């Protein structure tokens, strides 16, 4: 897995610039990636874009410096893991409310012993040509972002960010 430079920038407090894309078009994804965006959020919560379209969109940005991030529809592990296995370099999870919700999201993005993610990154690992490297580096290379969008989440902010 190549270095997720956007994750490094975010973790060091440096700004990045990106764009949300809710159209299921690999051509538009490729155009935006070549336009120079640092990251591209592929919107699946508020669009009709499905995982097959997401995979094609990620293929379209693969040969650029743009990092593909998938905004999953829910915090359910299966949707998060499918996006990561298809090659997402980050996820954006909506409707997170509590510290337990945050931990559950992190757990399903991390391989054991740090989490509970099952190993099946077909596309993400180059169809297992880089399977060992992907397994070794994925935990430290994926950008995990959450959206706090309820009063409950705001009320739990101190516990959620701890």
Using pLDDT thresholds of 50, 70 and 90, give the confidence band for residue 3.
confident
Using pLDDT thresholds of 50, 70 and 90, give the confidence band for residue 153.
confident
Residue 129 has pLDDT above 90, yes or no: no
Burial state string for 92-121 with b = 16 or more CB within 10 A and e = fewer than 16: bbbbbbeeebbebbbebbbbeeebebeeeb
8 A C-beta contact, residue 41 and residue 21: yes
* pTM for the whole structure: 0.93
Assigned CATH class of 5-160: alpha beta
Residue 13 has pLDDT above 80, yes or no: yes
Alpha helices by DSSP H, the chain: 5-11, 26-34, 51-61, 77-85, 99-109, 131-141, 151-155, 157-160
Using pLDDT thresholds of 50, 70 and 90, give the confidence band for residue 109.
very high
Question: How confident is the model at residue 120, as a pLDDT?
Answer: 85
Paired tokens of 138: 């994925």
Query: What amino acid positions are annotated as catalytic residues?
Result: 46
Q: Rounded to an integer, what distance in angstroms lies between the CA atom of residue 122 and that of residue 85?
A: 6
Q: Which residues does 113 contact at the CB level (< 8 Å), separation at least 6?
A: none
Question: How confident is the model at residue 161, as a pLDDT?
Answer: 66
Residue 127 has pLDDT above 90, yes or no: no
Q: Rounded to an integer, what distance in angstroms lies between the CA atom of residue 132 and that of residue 103?
A: 25
Mean pLDDT calculated for residue range 122-142: 88
């Amino acid at each position: 897995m190549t270095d997720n430079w956007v994750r490094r920038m975010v973790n060091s407090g440096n700004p990045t610039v990106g764009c949300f894309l809710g159209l299921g078009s690999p051509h538009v994804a490729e155009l935006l990636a070549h336009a120079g965006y640092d990251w591209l959020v592929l919107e699946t919560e508020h669009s009709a874009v499905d995982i097959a379209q997401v995979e094609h969109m990620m293929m379209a940005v693969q040969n650029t410096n743009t990092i593909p991030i998938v905004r999953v529809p829910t915090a359910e592990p299966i949707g998060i893991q499918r996006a990561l296995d298809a090659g997402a370099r980050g996820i954006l999870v909506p409707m997170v409310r509590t510290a337990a919700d945050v931990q559950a999201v992190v757990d399903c993005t991390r391989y054991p012993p740090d989490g509970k993610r099952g190993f099946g990154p077909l596309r993400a690992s180059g169809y297992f040509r880089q399977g060992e490297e992907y397994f070794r580096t994925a935990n430290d290379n994926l950008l995990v972002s959450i959206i706090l969008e309820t009063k409950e989440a705001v009320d739990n902010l101190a516990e959620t960010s701890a």
